[in-house]
Structure formats: structure tokens, C-alpha cells
Amino acid sequence: MTLSLPEAQREFGAGVAFLNTATYGLPPRAAHEAMLAAEHDRAAGLLERGDLDAAVTRSREAFARLLGVPADRVACGPQVSYFTGLVAASLPAGAEVVVADGDFTSLLFPFAARPDLSVRSVPLERIAERIGAGTGLVAVSAVQSADGRIAPMEEIIEAARAHGARVLLDATQAAGWLPLPADRVDWLVAGGYKWLLGPRGTCFLTGTREALDTLPAIGAGWYAGADIWDSIYGLPLRLADGARRLDLSPAWQCWVAQAPALGLLEQVGIPAIHDHDVALARRFAAGLGLPQGDSAIVSVPVPDGAADLLRRNGVVATVRAGRLRCAFHLSTTEADVDKAVGLLAPLVPAAG
């Protein structure tokens, strides 16, 4: 079943012009209701483990389809820093890790926390040229959280291959709207609570089989077991095959909501969502006299208090790195964009 954009937009009912998906995504109605129903079942003592495990499986499979990878190469966990930490733990002492200046710290801190690694922070646009024979890993966000800049992924992948370096791509600000080279990087991690429209507490890791096999299962618990409910007590170690050996025990209600959220994205399709999101971002930029780009996130120079002004008038965005960050996703409409432009135009130098 496919859904048109207008049909999908009827799944949202925020009541405000929501330009804040880069902070957290709005839940589709089906996802919101599923999570509330699970909480009601918990309060009534009626949660069923089979339903909860099925939600994790559906989420894993839906994410795999969205990214174009096999489901047995997808691990499910709670946050980006956990999976990034596994990659950091897999590196040999002395390895050089190239990262982007000002990238999100959940991608940076796990490497910086190892004093025996050499972490080099360079400008995003120059990462590819800074990859050399001594580089072991490039860790970069596909889309920068602070301002929406898109990484030169093709250049980075080519340079990494030429020098024998691995690539870890953080797709938290990209998965759900931007087509991604998931089958051509060593690892890809994505938090589920932004553009994938899930609640906080869901995250995915995928990668090549070879790269996934190098990750130590240092967070292994019962949910990483070959037979989950036969892995809750005692030795010997009996981990699942494939990426599932890296799973962490799920926050059940979060995954109950994540599954239908991913289902909605699948029904609309990433190409249609990409075109919708970027078109709205360009409409917004044009209305303020700003350069138009290819990202669904636009960073705007504004005076102090601009975000509060917007909120008082029914528009929600946030300030990051000293600028107003506006994000445009499936729930956003042209009317939302025009309302924001009308409020911001007197405040933005380029539009004055």
C-alpha cells in the first residue's frame, strides 16, 4: 500500500507549525496510539511479550527496507553513542580517526574517550582530502545537526577506499528523508526519534557483514541471545548470528511506536519525502532571501528571542550554534512555511 503526501499528513495533528524535526519527530497517529495502548496494557498487567518482540522485529525489517540492506545486518539499540562506542572499542591503539569540526558529540565522544586513538577534527567540506594512508576510520554525520549541511559522502567513500580506511556514517539527521549509501559504508548508525518519527529510545546500526563482525559484543545481554527467551539465565554464552548479537534489551513501548512510524515512511517512500522536504526548505529560504540548498534543514541568523517569538505565534523551531534551526519534514505544509516566513522576515537581515 502506498500513501500520497496529503494522506500521510493527515496522520499528524500537532496544532502548530512544527519546524523542529531535527530535535524530535512528530509521531504519526498510529504510532502515538500504539504507544499509549502499550502503556495502558502495562498499567492493566496485560503486556504480551510476543507483541513486544514482534514490534522490534517489524522495526528492524522496516528500517532494513528503507535503507536497502538485509534485516540480519541491522542491530537495534537505544542510542547512537552505544553503537559508536562499539566501533571505537574495535579500533586498534594508535588508529587515526578523522571527524568533522562541530559534529554531534554522540559521534565524537566515544573516540575522544580513548586516549590511545588519534582523533583529527577537520572542516566537513575537506574531510575527503584529509584522509591519508594513516587513517583508520572516518566518522561523520551524513547531515550536520547544527545547520543541516550535507556531507560529501561520495567523495569520502572514494577517498576512504583508496586509502584502506573504514567509514562510519551517522544518519540520525538524514535517515527518513535523504537517500543514503548504506550499502557502501562500513557502518551506518541512525537514531530513531527524529526523521524516523519514533520516540526517544530507539536506534539502528547496519553495515557490511565484515565490518559488523569486527565489533565486540561488549554490551551483550539476554536480548542478544540466539534464542532470546532461552538466553535469560546462565552460561554458556549463546549469542545470535548476524547483527542481532549487538542488540540491547529494548525499551518495549518505544519500539511499539517505532514500527508503525517506519511503516508510514515506507508507504510514502523516501524519494517523495525527500522532494517534499527539500522543496519546503527552499520555499522557506527563498522567502527570507537566503541561499537555497539541498538540505531539509535551514539555519537562519536571527536576534535573541526569535525562537520564543515564533513559539508564541504557533511556530516551533529551536536555536542551535547561535542560529535558528528550522527543519521541514513529512508533517510540514506550505502554510507552515509561509507562516514562519511572515514572522521571521522582519528579523532576518537578508529579508529586511
Positive or negative torsion for Cα 201, 317, 302, 277: positive
CATH of domain 40-265: 3.40.640.10
pLDDT in tens, 299-312: 999 999 999 999 99
Positive or negative torsion for Cα 90, 92, 93, 99: negative
Mean pLDDT across the stretch 211-228?
A: 97
Phi, psi of 166 (to 5 degrees): -90, 160
**The pLDDT value given to residue 165:** 98
**The pLDDT value given to residue 308:** 95
Task: List helix spans (H) across the chain.
Answer: 5-9, 29-43, 49-67, 80-90, 105-112, 127-130, 153-163, 209-213, 252-268, 270-287, 306-312, 334-344
For the cut 60, the answer to whether the pLDDT of residue 319 exceeds it is: yes
Pairing of strands 74-77, 318-320: unpaired
Positive or negative torsion for Cα 270, 275, 278, 283: negative
The fold adopted by the segment(s) 5-28+269-346 is: Aspartate Aminotransferase, domain 1 (3.90.1150)
Amino acid at 67: L
For residue 322, count CB atoms less than 10 angstroms from its CB and return exposed for 0-12, middle for 13-18, buried for 19 or more: exposed
Other Cβ atoms less than 10 A from the Cβ of 266: the count is 16
Mean pLDDT across the stretch 118-142?
A: 98
Q: Quick one: cell of 47?
A: 503486556
**The pLDDT value given to residue 352:** 46
Nearest to residue 207, comparing CAs of 242, 174, 159? 242
Mean pLDDT across the stretch 8-37?
A: 97
CATH 3.40.640.10 in the chain is located at 40-265
Mean pLDDT across the stretch 144-166?
A: 98
For the cut 70, the answer to whether the pLDDT of residue 134 exceeds it is: yes
When pLDDT is cut at 50, 70 and 90, the band that residue 314 belongs to is very high
**The pLDDT value given to residue 350:** 60
> Mean pLDDT in the chain?
97
pLDDT in tens, 222-279: 999 999 999 999 999 999 999 999 999 999 999 999 999 999 999 999 999 999 999 9
Distance CA 330, CA 324 (A): 20
**The pLDDT value given to residue 294:** 98
CATH 3.90.1150.10 in the chain is located at 5-28+269-346
Mean pLDDT across the stretch 200-209?
A: 98
Mean pLDDT across the stretch 206-215?
A: 98
Mean pLDDT across the stretch 182-191?
A: 98
Mean pLDDT across the stretch 31-47?
A: 97
**The pLDDT value given to residue 349:** 80
Length of the chain: 352
For the cut 90, the answer to whether the pLDDT of residue 351 exceeds it is: no
For the cut 60, the answer to whether the pLDDT of residue 75 exceeds it is: yes
pTM: 0.96
